[in-house]
Amino acid sequence: MSSEIERLREQIAGLDRDLVENLKRRFHLAARVGALKAEEGQPVVVREVEERVLRRAREAATLCGTSPEVMESIFAAIVRGSVERQYRDRLESGREGGARILVLGAGGAMGGWLCRFLGTVGHETAGVDPAWKDELPASGRYAELSDVPNLGSYDAVLVSVPLETTASVLDSLAEARVRAPVVEIASIKSHLREPLRRIRAGGAPAISLHPMFGPGKGIFEALPVVHAVIDDEAAERSAILDLMAHPYLDLVSLPFDHHDRLFAGSLSRSGLDPKEMERTASTTFSRQASTARSILEEDPDLYFAIQRLNPFRGEVYAALAAALEELTGAVENDDPAAFADFLSRAAKVLPPR
């Protein structure tokens, strides 16, 4: 390798160090802006300001000898870093003495995320998960609920277990006569009505939540969560806000009986206006809605012509109908293997990432 290449790479490394120092200064200034916004009750994210930053980045592309897309992606990452810093600082400033929370299913992806989140907002957590049964005993990690010493010492029990086992886990808590509030986060609610009733009959408050994100969600971001109201909306919301203690928790309350109809996809009959629907949208739904919107906003006459003039459209419609029949048949016949096989075959049709 020539000495000239080495010399140039050393210069690049020096510029990288300068960039890091400038980023440090920028994030420090962003933190100061965030503190002032907090004092004035302003939100962390201000879209107009972000757009100005990205517009300046795109305009600088020619000067830097690269594309507007590259410049925008660089500065979009910097903006995300500034937003994360402001969220982080607000969480730190608002942290007070926390509660003791027992997380059931703590060894899973979402359960692990909840443990980290609860620790971030100031709570102390312990976990229960059958996956730990072959591990050496460790403080705060238990394989079974019966292994937990002094179960009554916890301020809340959070249930983050697989959907198909949630009802039985809630029943086990009712049998254990747990007195602390029990919070479940299942994405389907109807089959939990009776287990939740039994918990409440035993004297423990019950709260039903549906986080509209998965375990890949950043802790220092806005957190949309649906609250399925079981009984007393005000009391339940107060308990949720104490538990989650996040400055940008976006909590949407709706009747318990309303939840599953909404998330079955009957959006036109949900009773929610588009803005509220957006607040309750999951990450997956948001991506699908974005794709659908891009098509629906285009020329309908063009799409009609494409459909009408394609002589093979009948094959497409027949294949779509057959696929829908196969998919619904697997569900109605309680055949998870057939459902998984259907999804696997569908995935193979898609191009690689």
What distance in Å separates the CA atoms of residue 213 and residue 338, rounded to the nearest whole number?
27
Q: How far from 131 is each of 30, 163, 216, 276, CA to CA, in Å?
A: 42, 16, 21, 38
Q: Compare 303 and 267 and report the one with higher pLDDT.
A: 303
What distance in Å separates the CA atoms of residue 145 and residue 160, rounded to the nearest whole number?
13
Q: Is the pLDDT at 322 greater than 90, yes or no?
A: yes
Tokens in use for 60? 């600088």
Q: Compare 43 and 339 and report the one with higher pLDDT.
A: 339
pLDDT tens-place string over residues 71-120 = 999 999 999 899 888 877 877 766 556 799 999 999 999 999 999 999 88
Among 40-44, 128-132, 333-337, which is the least confidently predicted range? 40-44
Structure confidence at residue 227 as a pLDDT band (50, 70, 90): very high
Q: Compare 278 and 154 and report the one with higher pLDDT.
A: 154
The arithmetic mean of pLDDT across residues 288-294, rounded, is 75
The arithmetic mean of pLDDT across residues 134-163, rounded, is 91
Among 51-60, 184-193, 235-244, 302-311, which is the least confidently predicted range? 302-311
Q: For residue 191, give every residue at least 6 positions away whose Cβ sits within 8 Å of its Cβ, in sequence order, or none.
A: 167
The arithmetic mean of pLDDT across residues 155-173, rounded, is 96
Whole-model pTM: value is 0.71
Q: What's the confidence (pLDDT) of residue 115?
A: 95
Among 20-29, 143-152, 304-313, which is the least confidently predicted range? 304-313
What are the boundaries of each domain within the chain?
Answer: 3-94, 100-286, 298-349
Q: What's the confidence (pLDDT) of residue 268?
A: 47
pLDDT tens-place string over residues 269-290 = 455 556 656 666 666 666 777 7
Pick the CATH number of 3-94 from 1.20.59.10, 1.10.10.10, 3.40.50.300, 2.60.40.420: 1.20.59.10
| CATH topology match: 3-94 vs 100-286 | no
Give the type of residue at 132: W
What distance in Å separates the CA atoms of residue 200 and residue 203, rounded to the nearest whole number?
5
Dihedral-angle region of residue 271 (phi above 0 means left; psi in -120 to 50 means alpha; beta otherwise): left
Q: What's the confidence (pLDDT) of residue 94?
A: 60
Q: Is the pLDDT at 123 greater than 60, yes or no?
A: yes
Tokens in use for 312? 């093979």
Three-state helix/strand/coil letters over 249-298: EEEEEEEHHHHHHHHCCCHHHCCCCHHHHHHCCCHHHHHHHHHHHHHHCC
What distance in Å separates the CA atoms of residue 302 and residue 279, rounded to the nearest whole number?
32
Nearest to 206 by CA among 187, 225, 220, 189: 189
Fold of 100-286: Rossmann fold (3.40.50)
